[in-house]
Amino acid sequence: MRTSVPPDRRGRPGPSLVSSWSDVPHLFEPASSGRAKCRACGDRIANGELRFGERLPNPFADDGGEMTHWYHPACAAYRRPEPFLETVDAAGQALADRERLVREATLGAAHHRVPRLNRAERASSGRATCRHCREKIEKDAWRFSLVFYEDGRFVPAGFVHASCAAAYFETTDILDRLRHFSPGLGDADLAEIRAALATGAG
């Protein structure tokens, strides 16, 4: 669920919710416009909607300035778990579904490959190789695309068989994030993916 922070009496967005730790400059705040896109999913963040900002050194600034990468809170919990967890206390009651997002971020922080999970899809050909077993992924078989986080960007990093996911991620607790980043999955698709995960876990 995405959350909007109530505006003030003049209709302006509410205040920023900045982490209280001086060495953690990340923040939660309501979007001041609808122009910024989420770094993880690529969708726009609606005006007034709560967003997470990860502040990083700006490599193009001569004065050692910073830049901010914006995320939907759920996308940040899934893709940038450590900065999210460092800052989540600053969000207070403005963050909806807090308990679930903290749980998902904690999972991602504990299993370092889990934040790489991108989308579930059927293989469009039989050419791609699974990053775990190194075998070809058959056409139309379920596969999970991966991304690496490098220099503030999410870079495509190949695929794993759905049946190899348990071994690769070292957990099968990935369905929530699959549904989040693959909203087109239907009940039948999810049933097949669960079966594939169970096969690999066995």
Q: Are residues 178 and 145 in the same domain?
A: yes
Domain contains 191: yes
Looking at the structure, tell me whether residues 75 and 149 fall in a common domain.
Answer: no
Per the prediction, the chain carries an average pLDDT of 86
- In this prediction, residue 18 carries a pLDDT of 47
One domain for residues 68 and 127: no
pLDDT confidence of residue 137:
97
Q: What is the pLDDT of residues 68-99, one digit of tens each?
A: 899 999 999 999 999 999 999 888 778 889 99
Query: So what's the pLDDT on residue 92?
Result: 79
What predicted TM-score, i.e. pTM, was given to this entire model? 0.83
What is the pLDDT, as a whole number, of residue 63? 66
Residue 53 CA to its chain's centroid (Å) = 13
What distance in Å separates the CA atoms of residue 50 and residue 137, rounded to the nearest whole number?
Answer: 39
Question: What whole-number distance in Å separates Cα of residue 113 and Cα of residue 21?
Answer: 27
- Tell me the residue range of the domain where 144 lies: 114-201
CB of 60 within 8 A of CB of 105? no
106 three-class SS: helix
- Of the candidates 79, 110, 141, which is a domain's last residue? 110
Whether residues 103 and 145 share a domain: the answer is: no
What's the structural domain count of the chain?
2
